[in-house]
Amino acid sequence: MTYYNDLTNDDKRVSIFKEAIIEKAHGLTYDLGTGSGILAEIASKYSEKVYAFEINPLVIKRYTKGNLEGIENVSIIQADASTHTFEEIPDVVICEMLDTALIDEEQVLVINNILDYTKEDTIFIPKLTYDTIQVGFSNISHIVYLEEGRPSFKTYSNEIKYNQVDFSEKINPYFDKDIEINIIQSGTINSILITTYTYVTEELFTGPTPMLNPPLVIPVNETEVNEGDIIKLNLKYIMGGGLNTITANIE
């Protein structure tokens, strides 16, 4: 599973989460979806106790244990954090199960569950994400992540913020919105680009990194547009429901 190596080798992703954990971790810290355990390991140096939750027993055996076993104040717990009954109230919740617009991972389901077990001043790392949209032209026929500049995407609009999710509040996973978009160049559009930005803390901010929220290109009905037009796009998806829940239509 080189996936976990790629996650731990993404220096930009790891260093911003490390900075956040050094600043915020204290008392009882939960790391939900711990994977390799890299964030729990960092948190163990700044917390009294860390519980590292991971759903996949094979991941625990192959990756988590190697990093966390032997650290006295860390316990690994195999559990589904989206349904688990937590026994203690954490001071800090780390949950890096982010994905572009929170669609293809279980971040929202897990956050909605842990919120039944937190207190007013529990700190969430990350704190919030927001999403932007652009319309443009791309040579694609299906939904695809934009990685290392591929596929190409030529934008015909400004980048518009259309959604924000704060992890200290319950989240409605059913996203459905009509979005008005200003066209800045005439031509043919056939796709949208969604980009997700993350406030890891109130001050630590990042856009996509190689393993964090790669921008998502989604096909839409081909439409001729003119500079100055305002088009209306209906965008629907289920956060945590997977990429096949996305529909995007220009009206």
Ligand X SMILES: C[S@@+](CC[C@H](N)C(=O)[O-])C[C@H]1O[C@@H](n2cnc3c(N)ncnc32)[C@H](O)[C@@H]1O
Q: How far is the CB of 13 from ligand X (least distance, A)?
A: 7
What are the two backbone dihedrals, phi and then psi, of residue 29, each rounded to the nearest 5 degrees? -115, 135
Residue 195's Cβ-count burial label (10 Å; 0-12, 13-18, 19+) is buried
Q: How far is the CB of 19 from ligand X (least distance, A)?
A: 14
Q: How far is the CB of 168 from ligand X (least distance, A)?
A: 18
Q: Which residues contact 66 (CB under 8 A, 6 or more apart)?
A: 37
**Is there binding between residue 185 and ligand X (CB under 6 A)?**
no
**Is there binding between residue 54 and ligand X (CB under 6 A)?**
yes
**Is there binding between residue 34 and ligand X (CB under 6 A)?**
yes
The rounded distance, in Å, linking the Cα atoms of 242 and 62 is: 26
Write the DSSP symbol of residue 226: -
How many residues appear in the chain?
251
Assess contact for 122 and 91: CB atoms under 8 A.
yes
**Is there binding between residue 190 and ligand X (CB under 6 A)?**
no
The closest alpha carbon to 217, from 154, 162, 143, belongs to: 143
Q: How far is the CB of 200 from ligand X (least distance, A)?
A: 11
Q: Does residue 151 have a cis peptide bond before it, meaning omega lies within 30 degrees of 0?
A: yes
# residues contacting ligand X (CB under 6 A): 19
Among 60, 93, 97, 239, binds ligand X (CB under 6 A): 97
105-124 mask for ligand X (x: CB under 6 A)?
-x---x--------------
Among 38, 103, 220, 225, binds ligand X (CB under 6 A): 38
Name the token pair of 30: 């939960």
Among 82, 134, 206, 213, binds ligand X (CB under 6 A): 82
**Is there binding between residue 171 and ligand X (CB under 6 A)?**
no
Query: Biggest alpha carbon distance in the chain?
Result: 63
**Is there binding between residue 96 and ligand X (CB under 6 A)?**
yes
Residue 5 or 152 with smaller CB distance to ligand X: 5
Binding-site ranges for ligand X (CB under 6 A) = 7, 33-36, 38-39, 53-56, 59, 80-82, 96-97, 106, 110
